[in-house]
Every structure is written in C-alpha cells, then in structure tokens.
C-alpha cells in the first residue's frame, strides 16, 4: 500500500507542476477559446479589435484558473498521518552504547510516535474501522530493544508484538474505543535501548500503515474483496504519511 501511495503522491505533484501546460494544450490542440465563445454568446461587438496574442493570453489565464480550481477541489479530505520525535527533537536519535553499560543504565531514550486520523464523515470512519484491518506497523533495527511505555493505555488487544523488532498497533480497534468523532489523535511512546557495543551503527525506525488479513466468521473471498475496496478508498481519498526515523549509536 505504501509504495502505491508514494507513486500516487509523485503523480499528483507532477500534475500540479504541469498546470500551465494543460491550458496551452486545450488552446493549441483542441482550439478551446473561451474569450471568443463568450463574445459570440453575448453578441459583444469589438471582437475584431482583439489581437490573436491578446486572445490567446486571456484564454490561457482563464483556462489555467479553471484547471487550478478543479485540482483544488480534488483534494484528500481524509488522512492517516504519523510523526516521530525524541526527547531532543533531533532529526536523528542517538543511543548510548550497550544497555548494560553502568553509566547509561538509568538513562531512558524515548521515541514518541504520534498517530493522527482525520475523516470527512463518520461514515468514512466507520467503514475504515470495519473488520479491524488497519494497523500501524513499527519496525526497529535488530540491535535495538524496546518497551511500550503506554501499552496499558493503548489496550492489550490494540498492541501485537510480532517479534523483538516488529510491533503492530491496530488503529481500527483503538479508534473503536474513542467516542464518535471525525478526528482521532494518540501517541505511542517507545523506550529504546541499544544492545550494541559497537559505535557508528545505524538503522531506521519505520512506522507505516498496512491493511492486514483478519481471521473471522467471514469467508476468505469476502475478506479479500473488502480489503481491496478499502485499499482503493485509501488510494483515492486519503492523504497518507509515514515515519522513517534515523537511529544510531554513539
């Protein structure tokens, strides 16, 4: 899903950059001239006094404004956003060597992951919560150990520790416990410790959204089709941002 969203964002960016080109294409290849059309429609005199250069310039401005307005209307009114920051608000989180080193034993290095979900309607929220398929997967380097400080606040059924380096936060289940509203925001607080005794080891903390398969009373075909529909809705309607936080030892 994340690769598809990344490709979509790139395409949208390119399309916005090329906005002025669309009006030129409409004029040169399709001979769309709104100035001439309006003057003929309203039977305005003085058309002969308008030079081709002025008409093309005016037409380009009008068409650019129309195309820009259309693009602004086609906006993502729903969003799944995630941000990450540490105690020092640095771009890169640096951990001390080895969690068992005595001088660092009592130090805590926290990484705050902020999850935000915004919906255009409660119906959209209910649809995305259905089947508990939406999760935020947090992946850590193999030389980092972690604890979830606010695990009890999130709920046992919300947090699934897949391995020592992967933890899933079920966004759908957590949102289901929040009273009806179109905007939800909550933190995930990780306490990180290095297991490495080597300096200058780097890695990344990655937090991305996934649609996961859920076992239940529904048939496999129904579940597959429903996840495909959810993916299409996210692709067309949601702004999605994820975390790729650098982490290293010192």
The predicted-structure confidence for 172-213, as pLDDT tens digits, reads as follows 777 655 556 788 888 898 888 887 776 667 888 888 888 877
| The residue to which tokens 């606010």 are assigned | 150
- Number of neighbours of residue 134 by Cβ within 10 angstroms: 24
Helices (H), the chain: 2-17, 19-28, 34-42, 52-73, 122-129, 151-154, 171-176, 220-237
Which residues, including other chains, have CB under 8 Å from residue 177's CB and lie 6 or more apart? 155
CA angle 244, 249, 250 (to 5 degrees): 135
Whether 152 shows a pLDDT value over 70: the answer reads: yes
Instruction: Place 1 in a pLDDT band, splitting at 50, 70 and 90.
Output: low
Instruction: Place 99 in a pLDDT band, splitting at 50, 70 and 90.
Output: low
Whether 238 shows a pLDDT value over 60: the answer reads: yes
How far is it, in rounded angstroms, from Cα 84 to Cα 76? 22
Both tokens of residue 218?
A: 């529904």
Both tokens of residue 248?
A: 């290293």
> If you average pLDDT over every residue of the chain, what do you get?
76
Between residues 192 and 39, which one has the greater pLDDT?
Answer: 192
| Rg (the chain; Cα; Å) | 26
Between residues 175 and 145, which one has the greater pLDDT?
Answer: 145
How far is it, in rounded angstroms, from Cα 32 to Cα 46? 20
What is the fold of 78-249?
A: Immunoglobulin-like (2.60.40)
Which segments of the chain belong to CATH 2.60.40? 78-249
How far is it, in rounded angstroms, from Cα 226 to Cα 243? 26
Both tokens of residue 76?
A: 């993502």
How far is it, in rounded angstroms, from Cα 136 to Cα 174? 11
How far is it, in rounded angstroms, from Cα 203 to Cα 117? 27
């Amino acid at each position: 899903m994340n690769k598809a969203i990344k490709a979509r964002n790139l395409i949208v960016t390119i399309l916005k950059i090329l906005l002025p080109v669309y009006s030129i294409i409409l004029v040169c290849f399709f001979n769309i001239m709104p100035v001439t059309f309006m003057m003929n429609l309203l039977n305005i005199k003085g058309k002969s006094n308008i030079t081709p250069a002025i008409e093309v310039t005016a037409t380009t401005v009008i068409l650019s404004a129309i195309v820009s307005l259309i693009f602004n209307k086609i906006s993502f009114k729903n969003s799944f956003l995630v941000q990450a920051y540490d105690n020092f608000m640095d771009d890169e989180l640096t951990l001390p060597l080895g969690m068992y080193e005595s001088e660092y034993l009592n130090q805590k290095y926290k990484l705050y992951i902020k999850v935000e979900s915004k919906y255009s309607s409660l119906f959209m929220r209910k649809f995305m919560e259905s089947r508990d398929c939406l999760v935020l997967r947090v992946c850590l380097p193999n030389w980092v150990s972690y604890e979830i400080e606010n695990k009890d606040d999130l709920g046992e059924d919300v947090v699934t520790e897949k391995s020592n380096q992967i933890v899933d936060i079920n966004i759908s289940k957590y949102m289901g416990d929040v009273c009806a509203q179109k905007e939800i925001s909550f933190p995930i607080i990780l306490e990180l410790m290095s297991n490495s005794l080597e300096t200058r080891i780097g890695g990344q903390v990655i937090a991305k959204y996934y649609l996961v398969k859920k076992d239940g009373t529904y048939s496999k075909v129904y579940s597959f089709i429903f996840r495909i529909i959810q993916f299409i809705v996210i692709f067309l309607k949601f702004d999605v941002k994820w975390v790729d936080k650098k982490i290293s030892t010192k």
